[in-house]
Amino acid sequence: MSESSLEEIILESRASAAEAKVMSTELKKSKVITLRVEEPLFKAIEAQAKLWNFKPAETIRVILRFYFLPVELEMELRGEREKLWKGELTPDHIGEYMVFAFEALEKARSSVKFLGDDLLRLQEAMGGKLNEVLEEEGKVAET
């Protein structure tokens, strides 16, 4: 598969740069994960990185955030909510918490939209493949 056709597939089937930007963060990266991937997967990651104008490592971080965002946000929200209900938050912290909660909600919406769109594309692709198989079986049955 050529690089340009790979980029076209990724452009058609993945999150936009705006959606990826919502998932990026300025938090310090303090943990390292090393992994090896197959060449086709690496090419797909590279193509996605190019379309988002990110480095491959940042692309992987964004993809992981899309996947784990609900868990990450729930953990953060539970911790902040506990402080709030225990009365440990000052009015300033309550304002920060509200901003955080609204930002979390927006990120969750973006993540859900991405996943919903991806599932629809997958369903359409699977439906198309199923129709092809059924047509082939129908032709075989006719002969």
- Domain limits, the chain: 3-26+35-68+107-142
Collect contacts of 133-140 with beta carbons under 8 A, ≥24 apart.
none
Percent of the chain whose predicted confidence (pLDDT) is above 70: 80
C-alpha closest to that of 19 among 55, 54, 56, 57: 54
Where residue 96 falls among pLDDT bands split at 50, 70, 90? Answer: confident
pLDDT digits (tens, 9 = 90+) for 49-65: 888 888 998 888 888 87
Q: Distance (Å, rounded) from C-alpha 7 to C-alpha 120?
A: 20
Q: Is the pTM of this model over 0.75?
A: no
Amino acid 15: pLDDT: 61
- Average pLDDT on 60-88 reads 75
